[in-house]
Each structure stands twice: as structure tokens, then as C-alpha cells.
């Protein structure tokens, strides 16, 4: 029979690595990390493009300067990761219409306020519905008075829908990027509102490598420790009262007392992994309740810069009658001066549409949008990079997106272990899901819970030994 480890960790993203580190540092050295891809990092991933290092996945350290210290910010400081301050609240003042005119700030501000008001109304309606549902279920309501702004209750309950291109662009900005202005997000409340863009040639994943160096054997930038196994696609988890058998696509079989599963919510919703026996219904239902957000940063390299790059110009918006159509733009001059790279971000349906078409088509669309904004004589991009997080079977999306008013039970059930299988990852973090620090903190949390369980098991075993 195959060798048996204390713990197998499936996935070497930030959560899996954080989980492994906690175990090893607490004396559980007999761990095996099985990673499907050929690298460590998961959704933290750089690629060289246009002469610099660009981040296809996580790009920012979000939540800095607040009452508590963001642990990822601390790690970045400890390992000397280069970052630069980034403020996308300015984006709303750089909105271009299809004729290349910048929307006057008064009009933009009015549309912005309208969008915020309508989003707040929508949340209130949802909250009321949720409250009624919970009352009916005898659950506890959401007692916190989050929306106690001085608005009167008699106004129409129907939120106004965005109609004009400017309103659509702002709606996209609010809902797909800055929901914090409507709904308090724990990341900004706890860790602060500042965001820093990682601008390090070694990549955001250098931070992970430095973490790995502290507990696995590495040499000259490579992990040589055979506890980390790359290109191991887990396909089956067979679990019982006594242990877990893990089977990989290449026909290998691994045994462990426990498994920590760190695959994304998108992967859990897909059929990549078979559980034997099947996962219980409460678990499957919770997994289905969490939405998957697709977020795609498309990189374009130009022979020279033709966009404004002064202060407060890092982000700009394109207002089109189709919501989310090449709306959100960023130049990379702050991170890499002279790199002549633009980034445009698409989400959800637009991301999926673009993933399915050839990159030349995407390039053509992006160039048409840029010519609307900056005129017909701008140069063609000389290179394009389109990440495909949705079609990547080891990701199936970019990050978890819980319905705005989600009840605590869903998080609890997503995270709760099933027998000897423990769950971790960004999506299991109730406060910080969707972020790198959410992944990091969840890994630590899960390993602490597992260490507790191992301790209890040991006690149970020694009790039964004494009885014998």
C-alpha cells in the first residue's frame, strides 16, 4: 500500500502554503502538497510581457493603513516586495464618452450619487427580504444598522436602473470594483482603505516563494523538497473513518490521515474532483450558493504612450451603451515607467465572451475602443495578453463572490470539514473572501482547526489504549 502521510494538502496557492507552514511549524512535518499545475502560487501569477513582469491574477495588496495590520502587507514588507500606491477612486473623474470627450465632473458626480443611492436602496430591499425570511426561519436577523444614513423611508422602493452609458459605466465601477462605498467591506474597515499595486519584477509570487523557503528545502530559487509535488492533478478523494486515499490523474495513489483541500470554489462546483462517498447535501448546497466572479485583466503593449499619465490619471473609464464593455482602464506608468502598457479589466459575461474568442479579435475590439477615446491616429498595440481564468480547469473563475447579504450558515458550511477532509481557501474566509489575505488567513485558520482535531484524536486513542 502507498506510504501514509499525516496530512495531504491539495493546492499550492497562498492558502495551501500558509496551511502547510503552520503544520510544519507545529511539528507536523510529514505533509505532502499536491499541486495540479507546474508552479506554486495559484491565483498569484506573473508573466513577462512587453519587457516587464505583469500580474495576471492578484495585483494589489488591498487594505492598508487601517486600525489593524494586513498580514500580507506585513509579509510584503518583510520580504521587500516592491509596491506602489494606487488610487482608483479617481477613475470616476476620467470618464470618456464614445467621442473621446471627458464627461464634466458635475455630471459624473450626479450619476455617481444616483448609482450609490440606487445600490443602497437595492441592499435595503434585499436586507428586508432576508430579514423576513430569517424571521420565518426563526434565525437571527442582521442586527447591525449599516444603512442608517438620514434618508426617508417613504421614497420609492424601486432602485433606479442605470440607463445612459455614463450611468452604466458608474454602475459597473461601483458593483464590480468599489462596493465599499455602498456596503462596508471588512478588508477596508479592518485593514484600511489604501491599496498598493505590486510592482516587482520578481512578481507577487516571490512572496510565496519566500514563505516556502522558511519551511521547505529550496536552493537557488527552486523548491527541492519532495513534500511539494507539482503536476499532480487530484481527481478522487476517498474518505473513511480511518483516513483518506487521494488519487491523481497520472495514476498515483496517496494515503493520509487527513486532507486539507484548498481548491477554488469554481473547482469545487466543477466535476474535476470526485468524492467517495459523495459530499453530504449541506456541503453541496453551500458550495452551490457561492457565486464565482470572473475578472480578467487584458494587457496591451504599445510602441509609445498616447494616454495622459499625470497625477490622478492612472485609471480611466470608457462609457459605452453595453455595460462592462472595455470599461475600466489602467496605465502601468506608475509601476513601470516607460513600459507603454495599458490594462483593461473585464468581468463575468464579458470575460467569458473574450476568453472564447481569438486574441486578435479582442485586440481589434480594444483598439476600436481606444480610438473612440483617443482618436484614430494612435498606434496599434504590438502585443496582447489575455488570461483565461474561467477556462482554466484548476481555477474555473477568479474569486468567490457571496451574495451581498449572505447568511453566516453558508460560510460555516463551506468551511466545515467533512470527516477527515478539511476545507480552506479564499472562499472559506467569511471576512476576507476574494482577497490574498483571505486565502492566507484561511490557511492558517484551517491548520489550527486541524491541529486541534489531531490533538483530540490522539487523546481519544490514548484513552482507548489505557482501557485496553
Binding positions for FAD are 15, 35-36, 234
Question: Residue 244 belongs to what H/E stretch?
Answer: strand 244-248
User: In the bound complex, what is the minimum distance in angstroms from residue 395's beta carbon to ligand FAD?
Assistant: 6
| For ligand FAD, the closer CB: 34 or 103 | 34
Q: Among 111, 425, 441, 450, which residue interacts with ligand FAD (rule: CB under 6 A)?
A: 425
Q: Which residues carry a binding-site annotation?
A: 15, 35-36, 234
Tell me: does residue 439 bind ligand FAD (CB under 6 A): yes
Tell me: does residue 389 bind ligand FAD (CB under 6 A): yes
| For ligand FAD, the closer CB: 122 or 444 | 444
**Beta strand pairing call for 234-239 and 274-276:** parallel
- Residues 137, 20: Cα–Cα separation, whole Å: 39
Handedness of CA 431, 433, 438, 443 (dihedral sign): positive
- Residues 346, 352: Cα–Cα separation, whole Å: 9
User: In the bound complex, what is the minimum distance in angstroms from residue 57's beta carbon to ligand FAD?
Assistant: 4
Q: At what angle do helices 205-213 and 14-25 cross, to 10 degrees?
A: 20
Site string for ligand FAD, 269-308 (x = CB under 6 A): ---xx---------------------x-x-----------
User: In the bound complex, what is the minimum distance in angstroms from residue 370's beta carbon to ligand FAD?
Assistant: 21
**Residue 340 corresponds to which cell in the numbers above?**
507603454
Closest CA relative to residue 328, chosen from 361, 291, 292, 366: 366
| For ligand FAD, the closer CB: 182 or 293 | 293
- Residues 9, 423: Cα–Cα separation, whole Å: 10
Region of 83-91, 131-139, 261-269, 277-285 interacting with ligand FAD (CB under 6 A): 261-269
270 in Cβ contact with 234 (< 8 Å): no
Site string for ligand FAD, 81-120 (x = CB under 6 A): ----------------------------------------
- Residues 150, 157: Cα–Cα separation, whole Å: 16
User: In the bound complex, what is the minimum distance in angstroms from residue 439's beta carbon to ligand FAD?
Assistant: 3
Q: Among 7, 260, 263, 292, which residue interacts with ligand FAD (rule: CB under 6 A)?
A: 263
Distance of CA 48 to the CA centre of its chain: 21
Beta strands in 206-351 (DSSP E): 218-219, 222-223, 228-229, 234-239, 244-248, 253-261, 274-276, 291-293, 295-301, 315-318, 328-331, 341-347
Closest CA relative to residue 325, chosen from 287, 351, 360: 351
| For ligand FAD, the closer CB: 70 or 118 | 70
- Span 12-41, contacts to ligand FAD by CB under 6 A: 12-16, 34-37
User: In the bound complex, what is the minimum distance in angstroms from residue 454's beta carbon to ligand FAD?
Assistant: 22
Task: Give me the residues that bind ligand FAD (CB under 6 A), please.
Answer: 10-16, 34-37, 42-44, 57-60, 62, 233-234, 262-264, 267, 272-273, 295, 297, 389, 394-395, 398-399, 425-426, 434-436, 438-439
Amino acid at each position: 500500500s502507498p506510504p501514509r502521510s499525516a496530512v495531504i494538502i491539495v493546492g499550492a496557492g497562498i492558502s495551501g502554503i500558509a496551511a502547510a507552514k503552520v503544520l510544519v511549524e507545529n511539528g507536523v512535518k510529514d505533509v505532502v502538497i499536491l499541486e495540479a499545475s507546474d508552479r506554486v502560487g495559484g491565483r498569484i501569477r506573473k508573466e513577462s510581457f512587453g519587457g516587464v513582469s505583469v500580474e495576471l491574477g492578484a495585483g494589489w495588496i488591498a487594505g492598508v493603513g487601517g486600525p489593524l495590520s494586513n498580514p500580507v502587507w506585513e509579509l510584503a514588507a518583510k520580504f521587500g516586495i516592491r509596491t506602489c500606491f494606487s488610487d482608483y477612486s479617481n477613475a470616476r473623474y476620467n470618464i470618456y464618452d464614445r467621442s473621446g470627450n471627458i464627461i464634466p465632473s458635475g455630471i459624473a458626480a450626479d450619476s455617481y450619487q444616483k448609482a450609490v443611492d440606487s445600490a443602497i436602496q437595492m441592499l435595503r430591499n434585499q436586507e428586508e427580504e432576508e430579514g423576513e425570511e430569517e424571521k420565518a426561519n426563526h434565525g437571527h436577523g442582521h442586527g447591525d444598522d449599516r444603512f442608517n444614513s438620514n434618508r426617508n423611508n417613504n421614497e420609492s422602493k424601486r432602485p433606479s436602473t442605470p440607463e445612459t452609458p455614463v450611468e452604466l459605466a458608474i454602475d459597473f465601477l461601483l458593483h464590480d470594483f468599489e462596493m465599499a462605498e455602498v456596503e462596508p467591506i471588512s478588508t477596508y474597515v479592518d485593514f484600511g482603505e489604501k491599496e498598493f499595486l505590486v510592482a516587482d519584477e520578481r512578481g507577487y509570487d516571490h512572496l510565496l516563494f519566500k514563505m516556502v523557503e522558511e519551511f521547505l528545502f529550496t536552493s537557488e530559487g527552486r523548491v527541492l523538497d519532495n513534500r511539494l509535488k507539482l503536476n499532480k492533478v487530484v481527481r478522487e478523494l476517498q474518505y473513511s473513518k480511518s483516513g483518506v486515499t487521494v488519487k491523481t490523474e497520472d495514476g498515483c495513489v496517496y494515503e493520509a490521515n487527513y486532507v486539507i483541500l484548498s481548491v477554488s470554489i469554481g473547482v469545487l462546483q466543477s466535476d474535476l474532483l470526485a468524492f467517495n462517498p459523495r459530499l453530504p447535501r449541506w456541503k453541496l448546497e453551500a458550495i452551490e450558493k457561492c457565486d464565482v466572479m470572473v475578472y480578467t485583466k487584458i494587457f496591451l503593449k504599445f510602441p509609445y504612450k498616447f494616454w495622459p499619465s499625470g497625477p490622478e490619471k492612472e485609471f480611466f473609464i470608457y462609457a459605452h451603451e453595453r455595460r462592462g464593455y472595455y470599461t475600466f482602464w489602467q496605465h502601468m506608468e506608475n509601476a513601470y515607467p516607460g513600459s507603454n502598457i495599458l490594462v483593461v479589466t473585464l468581468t463575468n459575461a464579458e470575460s467569458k465572451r473574450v476568453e472564447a474568442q481569438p486574441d486578435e479579435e479582442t485586440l481589434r475590439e480594444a483598439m476600436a475602443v481606444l480610438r473612440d477615446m483617443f482618436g484614430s491616429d494612435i498606434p496599434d498595440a504590438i502585443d496582447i495578453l489575455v488570461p483565461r481564468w474561467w477556462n482554466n480547469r484548476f481555477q474555473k473563475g477568479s474569486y468567490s463572490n457571496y451574495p451581498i447579504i449572505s447568511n453566516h450558515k453558508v460560510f460555516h458550511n463551506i468551511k466545515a470539514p467533512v470527516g477527515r477532509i478539511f476545507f480552506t481557501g479564499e472562499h472559506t474566509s467569511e471576512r476576507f473572501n476574494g482577497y490574498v489575505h483571505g486565502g492566507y488567513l484561511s490557511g492558517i485558520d484551517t491548520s489550527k482547526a486541524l491541529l486541534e482535531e489531531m490533538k483530540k484524536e490522539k487523546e481519544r486513542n490514548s484513552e482507548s489504549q489505557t482501557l485496553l
